[in-house]
């Protein structure tokens, strides 16, 4: 493979992505950052200069498995110390698998300040579907409060929730209603060209591959192109047995490729929209323009944007999850049995007066010393050596009502997996601390793809449900939703030496403890870890 070399300067700049002016983290002056383009087998080198002045930094390559380079996963507290202001950090990894991936900040809640982008890896073999043009669309939700205000609110007594986003961005552009802002809250200028909608020009009759990625902080989205059907062909870097949708439901951390044919009346433009689902939406739709050449790219479509699906209708979302199967001819079969089953109950609770999210009653906290170094160098006091529980009291726990979860604790203990073993993870959803409420959580696994064996409503039944697993053509993914009051079953091979985070991709949920860590094969790693990942916690003296 070739070497793809990037030099990034990361800093804060005033920008108005939705017409409201605020500090945004940019890469080389842009947010979303530049798209990384490579071919399967290439080596990507990104030299990141932290020009944030007063803030640490780490960048994660979401969906890249980092085989042989677990120290460059970019997860602060897990695989590296943060990059200090003024420092340059060199990430180097092989993109071994074609497909659409993401990158984003992985330090505190920094991602939501705008540090995110797309990675496109083209295959060496031709794709199993045809299209004329290849385009990218990255979706986000946008908050006007700084990450600090949000984080401080989440870790306060009384708890202050971040609320719903002020706008939805499509390729970094959105529209906030400036009449809602005051000179006190900030500067908003509806005619600022920075917030002109994104316009995707299409030539009538041509077929477009749209690579759609979501890096929302909070929201699950429904994505639509007015009057056009979308054919889903790729999910998280794997070919999907094609199916058609009118709305594409997409969760934070997921990517899809869809094929769209520009086969409608060419005398007009159409709306591209994103809408919040799964939370009672107060945020206006994200709007972009599907522009039929040669109409003016900024001409508003003559009809209003399509109505989004009801925010609280879980059925069509579960149906789409179930429809995603591996494409015939590209099926990688999972092992038929597993060596270990870990059930992860997702709950909200209060610990010492603080509102938290927990997994099996343990709210995850990051250690000072990155696990990778602590494990490799056997620093036993760097984190809690007691492993978290393998499950919960599934007989007596009522997932449908508010529970006290009084014995919830905070811990940075981890799951240690036997190298090369097959692990099943059952994500079990439950009621939150509000009556009749259960949320959607997109769970993302670092360092692996997993097979999605099944989804279900209610409580997972360990005797009956595994019999219904799809072992024939399950899709491989790196991010998967667990639907309200439902469960999701995954299987993966613990065959990538390193330490890997598995967490809810909603920024505030992970910040509040919704995650776990897996270790496997740590002793198979090379004698010396790169010193560039050290310098914090107990590794302070390790760095020359
Ligand atoms: Cu895209 Cu740990 O996240
Ligand atoms: Cu969550």
Q: What pLDDT, in 10s, does the model give residues 298-308?
A: 999 999 999 99
Q: How far apart are CA 524 and CA 375, in angstroms?
A: 12
Domains and CATH numbers, the chain: 3-323 (2.60.40.420), 340-542 (2.60.40.420)
| For ligand 1, atom 1: residue with the closest CA | 62
Listed residue (5, 73, 72, 86) closest to 38, CA to CA: 5
Give the number of whichever ligand sits closest to the CA of residue 252. Answer: 1
| Ligand 1 nearest-atom number relative to CA 102 | 1
Cβ atoms within 10 Å of 445's Cβ, excluding its own: 23
Q: What's the pTM?
A: 0.97
Q: 487: which 2 tokens? A: 């469960």
Q: Is the Cβ atom of 514 under 6 angstroms away from ligand 1? A: no
For residues 360 and 443, is the Cβ–Cβ distance under 8 A?
no
Q: Which residues of 320-329 are buried (b: 16+ CB within 10 A; e: fewer)?
A: bbeebbbbee
Place of tokens 């060496």: 124
pLDDT, residue 303, reads 98
Task: Find the length of the chain.
Answer: 544
DSSP letter, residue 360: T
C-alpha of residue 138 to centroid of ligand 1, in Å? 15
Give the number of whichever ligand sits closest to the CA of residue 513. Answer: 2
| Ligand 1 nearest-atom number relative to CA 75 | 2
Place of tokens 């984003």: 104
143-174 pLDDT, tens digit per residue, is: 999 999 999 999 999 999 999 999 999 999 99
Q: Is the Cβ atom of 62 under 6 angstroms away from ligand 1? A: yes
pLDDT, residue 404, reads 86
pLDDT, residue 544, reads 56
pLDDT, residue 467, reads 98
C-alpha of residue 241 to centroid of ligand 2, in Å? 28
Q: What are phi and psi of 537, to 5 degrees?
A: 50, -130
Query: Which value, in Å, is the radius of gyration of the alpha carbons in the chain?
Result: 22
Q: Is the Cβ atom of 376 under 6 angstroms away from ligand 1? A: no
194 by DSSP, 3-state: which? helix
C-alpha of residue 255 to centroid of ligand 1, in Å? 13
Burial of residue 531 (CB within 10 Å: 0-12, 13-18, 19+) is exposed
402-426 pLDDT, tens digit per residue, is: 998 888 999 999 999 999 999 999 9
Across the chain, mean pLDDT equals: 96
| Ligand 1 nearest-atom number relative to CA 446 | 2
pLDDT, residue 180, reads 86
- pLDDT, averaged per 10 consecutive residues of the chain (544 residues), comes to 97 97 97 98 98 97 98 98 98 98 97 97 97 98 96 97 97 94 82 96 98 98 98 98 98 98 98 97 97 98 97 97 98 98 97 96 97 95 97 96 92 98 98 96 98 98 97 98 98 98 98 98 91 92 66
Q: How far apart are CA 75 and CA 59, in angstroms?
A: 7
């Amino acid at each position: 493979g070739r070497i793809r070399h990037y030099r990034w300067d990361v800093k804060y700049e005033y920008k108005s992505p939705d017409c409201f002016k605020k500090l945004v983290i940019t890469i080389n002056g842009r947010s979303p950052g530049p798209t990384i383009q490579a071919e399967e087998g290439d080596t990507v080198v990104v030299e990141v200069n932290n020009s944030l002045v007063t803030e640490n930094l780490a960048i994660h390559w979401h969906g890249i498995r980092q085989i042989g380079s677990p120290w460059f996963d970019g997860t602060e507290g897990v695989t590296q110390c943060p990059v200090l202001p003024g420092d340059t950090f060199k990430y180097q990894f092989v993109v071994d698998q074609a497909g659409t991936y993401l990158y984003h900040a992985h330090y505190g809640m920094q991602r939501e300040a705008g540090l995110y982008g797309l990675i496109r890896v083209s295959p060496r073999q031709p794709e199993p579907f045809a299209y004329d043009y290849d385009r990218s669309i990255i979706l986000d939700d946008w908050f006007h409060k700084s990450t600090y205000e949000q984080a401080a609110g989440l870790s306060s007594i009384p708890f202050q929730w971040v609320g719903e986003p002020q706008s939805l961005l499509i390729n970094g552009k959105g529209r906030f209603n400036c009449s809602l802002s005051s000179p006190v809250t900030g500067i908003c200028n509806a005619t600022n060209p920075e917030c002109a909608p994104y316009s995707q020009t299409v030539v009538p009759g041509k077929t477009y591959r749209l690579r759609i990625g979501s890096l929302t902080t909070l929201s699950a989205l429904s994505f639509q192109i007015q009057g056009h059907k979308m054919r889903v062909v790729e999910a998280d870097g794997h070919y999907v047995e094609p199916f058609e949708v009118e709305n594409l439901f997409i969760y934070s951390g997921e990517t899809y490729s869809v094929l769209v044919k520009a086969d409608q009346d060419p005398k007009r433009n159409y709306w591209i929209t994103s809408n919040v689902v799964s939370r009672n939406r107060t945020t206006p739709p994200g709007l972009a323009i599907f522009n039929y050449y040669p109409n003016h790219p900024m001409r508003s479509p003559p009809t209003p944007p399509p109505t989004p699906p009801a925010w609280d209708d879980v059925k069509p979302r579960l149906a789409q999850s179930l429809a995603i199967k591996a494409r015939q001819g590209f099926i990688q079969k999972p092992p038929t049995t597993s060596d270990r089953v870990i059930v992860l109950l997702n709950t909200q609770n209060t610990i010492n007066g603080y509102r938290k999210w927990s997994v099996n009653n343990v709210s995850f906290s990051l250690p000072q010393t990155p696990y990778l170094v602590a494990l490799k160098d056997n620093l036993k006091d760097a984190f809690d050596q007691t492993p978290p529980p393998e499950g919960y009291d599934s007989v007596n726990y009522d997932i449908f009502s508010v529970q006290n979860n009084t014995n919830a604790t905070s811990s940075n203990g981890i799951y240690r997996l036997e190298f090369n073993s097959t692990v099943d993870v059952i994500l079990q959803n439950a009621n939150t601390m509000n009556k009749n409420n259960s949320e959607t959580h997109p769970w993302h696994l670092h360092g692996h793809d997993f097979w999605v064996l099944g989804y279900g409503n209610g409580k997972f039944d360990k005797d009956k449900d595994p019999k219904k697993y799809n072992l024939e053509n399950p899709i491989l993914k790196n991010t998967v939703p667990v639907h309200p009051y439902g469960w999701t079953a995954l299987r993966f091979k613990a065959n990538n030496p390193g330490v890997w985070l598995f967490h809810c991709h909603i920024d505030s949920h992970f910040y509040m403890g919704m995650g776990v860590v897996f270790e496997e094969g740590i002793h198979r790693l090379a004698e010396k870890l790169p010193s560039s990942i050290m310098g914090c916690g107990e590794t302070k003296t390790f760095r020359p």
